[in-house]
Amino acid sequence: MMKQATIRAYGPLNDFLPSGRRQADVTVAFAGRTSVKDLLEGIGVPHPEIDLVLRNREPVAFDCAVDDGDRIAAFPRFHAVDITGVTRVRPRPLASVRFVLDGHLGKLARRLRLVGRDAVCPAGAVDAELANLADREGRILLTRDRALLKRRVVTHGAFIRETDAHQQLVEVLQRFGPFEIAPFSRCLRCNTELREVPKSLVELSVPPRTRLQHDRFQRCLGCGRIYWQGSHWKRLACAIDAALSEAGSVSTT
């Protein structure tokens, strides 16, 4: 016997719905036992994007069973209102703000490293590997793949709306900030932390002109890449300032 439930998505959650279903009640037919999570993801809304679910005006968890005639309301992350004592779906905060990104967000991964955030982007990793890595290491999964975000083991994650890498960084800073940043403290290539090294230890590894013009150098503890404050550094510093300005208040170390 088929049952029916009415779903209403609010705010940015409507981004995941086709135009005819946005900002409106959606009637969904289902059979047998169905959870709130399954019903919401069935219409396209990934569970990590949801911060509060009401079943007949009462807060419920994702595994709550849906009955015939139920009304389900789903809300995105709340920024201005504290709903800690109400929500049943918000996961516990992670120990630190670290990220794992799918292969399509490589430029965003570099920009997150640029501001000092731990951001891994494993080359060639399949969906299951990315989801398990996020779960195992307590990382926030960033992706433009809705199916990846719907995987059960993913508790903290976000669908990146923007397509431009700079705007993607602003989006992440706004969504997961405020948090401390430490620009130029992490390798853009491999994500490992950088350490200052004496010029004498690296001068044979950098171009002659660089040796003459610069005295401060950093080396990646992972891949060994050497960094200095050349013209590229000034360009990247401007990019950081622009992103922080657009994102609003983010603390720096």
Q: What is the DSSP string of 186-253?
A: B-TTT-PBEEEE-HHHHGGGS-HHHHHH---EEEETTT--EE--SHHHHHHHHHHHHHHHHH----B-
- pLDDT score of 1: 80
pLDDT at 242 exceeding the cut of 90 = yes
Which homologous superfamily is 2-75 in?
Beta-grasp domain (3.10.20.30)
Integer Cα distance of 191 and 61 in angstroms: 36
Summarised one tens digit per residue, pLDDT across range 204-228 is 899 999 988 999 999 999 999 999 9
pLDDT band at residue 250, thresholds of 50, 70 and 90?
A: low
Cβ pair 52, 86 in contact under 8 A: yes
In this prediction, residue 85 carries a pLDDT of 76
Residue 77 is predicted with a pLDDT of: 86
Look at 82-96, 159-173, 194-208 and tell me which has the smallest mean pLDDT.
Answer: 82-96
pLDDT number for residue 187: 97
- pLDDT 10s digits, 6-30: 999 999 999 999 998 999 999 999 9
What average pLDDT does the structure give for the chain? 93
Listed by start position, the domains of the chain span 2-75
Paired tokens of 204: 């044979």
Confidence of residue 253 (pLDDT cuts 50, 70, 90): very low
Banded pLDDT at 99 (limits 50, 70, 90): very high
Provide the residue count of the chain: 253
Q: How confident is the model at residue 86, as a pLDDT?
A: 80
pLDDT digits (tens, 9 = 90+) for 128-186: 999 999 999 999 999 999 999 999 999 999 999 999 999 999 999 999 988 889 999 99
Answer with the residue of higher pLDDT: 88 or 35. Answer: 35
Q: What is the mean pLDDT of residues 36-41?
A: 97
Contact 62, 53 (CB under 8 A): yes
- Report the SS3 class of residue 81: coil
Q: What is the pLDDT of residue 249?
A: 56
